[in-house]
Amino acid sequence: MSAHYTVSATPDAREAGAVTQTVASLPATFGPAPAGHPGTADVLVIAGGPGWTAEACSAVSAGARGIVVANPVPEDTTELAAAADAAGTAVVLDLRWASNPALVGETPDAREAVRSALGTASLLDSVATAGPGTDPRRLLGEHLAALLAVTGALDGVGVLRSDATGYTVSGRLANGAPFTAQGVLTAARRSGVDIRLYTADGGVAIQVPDPDAAWPAEVRVTGTHGELFLPTLYESAHRSAWRRLKDHLSAGTRPDDLAGFARLTDLYATLAAT
């Protein structure tokens, strides 16, 4: 029989990470901490607003075996990574779109499709959609996290515009081809991110929905063979993050989420400076 881990979340974290329903979908592994003893839970869930890294460091110090950060904003994770390594704490980031299992994790995934096509890329064009009133800078962070998850790197990134209706960002892929990322704030469409990579003879088209339901991302690879529709995964980004935490806790390994997130933080810092 596998180990069972207790979970505690602040109200903000519970809402941001849809923790109750997600934990309920992994009932053999996770369950709520006994009422009145939240501080002794095996896994602590933290909302990813400003200051989340300090809160996570405190959780590491308090002896948490696992930490889930719900939708973190870009922050310097150096100190947290060192503390988690020293304590053997598994820190998993539950990212709005980048944690979708169709992007990274299952095989074949969108990352594999994109990276094998990057050599002949001519343009990457991406649009993130969210409701009016969304903070464009926060949306941009979530958008860039999804792009970095599949491309691995983005160069020369600059913000062309950012206002109450969204933003436009441009830069280059590793082979020098241009990329654009546009944020559009509207209640007319379902929130999500659309990523289109165009290559010499086709490309990759990715549509990632919000994690508030288990509707699957769609990944299509077009080439001389025709079009390959990758297997759909009816699992939300939230559950995918928690399943990874389960795997790491079971195996005694530590995820590389913080190292990957540092790339986003570095990129975001350069944008903030422009």
Partner 1 sequence: MSHHTAPADRPLGVGILGAGPVTQAIHLPALARLRDILEVRHIMDVDPAVASSVAARVGATSSTSMDALLGDHDVDIVAICSPHQFHADQVIAACRAGKKAVLCEKPFAMNAGEATRISAVSTETGVPIVVGAMHTFDPGWLAAEQNWGDLPEQVHTIRSSIVLPPNARFEDFATEIVTRPATGRPDYSDIDVIKAALQGGIMGLAIHDLPLVRRFTPDFADIEVLQVSHIRPFGYSVSLRTPTRVIELRAVMNGTWKPEWTFEAIADDSALRIDFTPSYVQAGSAVATFTCGNGSETTIFGPYGHNGYEGEWRELAELARGTRQAPSAQTLIDDLTFALAIADATVASAAAGHPDAAEKAGVSA
Q: Which residues bind partner 1 (CB under 8 A)?
A: 122-123, 125, 127, 131-132, 156, 160-161, 165-166, 168, 170, 172, 176-178, 180, 182, 184-191, 198-203, 222, 224, 226-227
For the bound state, the minimum distance from the C-beta of residue 270 to partner 1, rounded and expressed in Å, comes to 14
The Cα angle at residue 173 between residues 273 and 183, in degrees rounded to 5:
60
Distance CA 179, CA 227 (A): 23
Give the CA distances from residue 182 to residues 24, 160, 196, 222, in Å, rounded to whole numbers and listed in that order.
35, 10, 12, 23
Q: For residue 203, what are its two tokens?
A: 């490309």
Nearer residue to partner 1 within complex by CB, 166 or 216 = 166
Element (H, E) at 41: none
For the bound state, the minimum distance from the C-beta of residue 197 to partner 1, rounded and expressed in Å, comes to 10
Nearer residue to partner 1 within complex by CB, 21 or 122 = 122
For the bound state, the minimum distance from the C-beta of residue 213 to partner 1, rounded and expressed in Å, comes to 12
Nearer residue to partner 1 within complex by CB, 30 or 167 = 167
Other CB atoms within a 10 A radius of the CB of residue 182 amount to: 18
Place of tokens 């860039």: 144
Nearer residue to partner 1 within complex by CB, 28 or 229 = 229
Nearer residue to partner 1 within complex by CB, 4 or 161 = 161
The DSSP-derived string for 152-169 is: S--EEEEEEEEETTEEEE
For the bound state, the minimum distance from the C-beta of residue 189 to partner 1, rounded and expressed in Å, comes to 5
Nearer residue to partner 1 within complex by CB, 17 or 202 = 202
Q: What is the DSSP letter of 62?
A: T
3-state secondary structure of 175: coil
Nearer residue to partner 1 within complex by CB, 93 or 121 = 121
For the bound state, the minimum distance from the C-beta of residue 114 to partner 1, rounded and expressed in Å, comes to 16
For the bound state, the minimum distance from the C-beta of residue 198 to partner 1, rounded and expressed in Å, comes to 4
For the bound state, the minimum distance from the C-beta of residue 135 to partner 1, rounded and expressed in Å, comes to 16
The DSSP-derived string for 25-37 is: TSTTTEEEPPTT-
Nearer residue to partner 1 within complex by CB, 17 or 192 = 192
3-state class percentages of the chain: helix first, strand second, coil last, to nearest 5: 35, 30, 35
For the bound state, the minimum distance from the C-beta of residue 14 to partner 1, rounded and expressed in Å, comes to 23
On whether the CB atoms of residues 246 and 253 are closer than 8 A, the answer is no
Distance CA 30, CA 10 (A): 16
On whether the CB atoms of residues 181 and 169 are closer than 8 A, the answer is yes
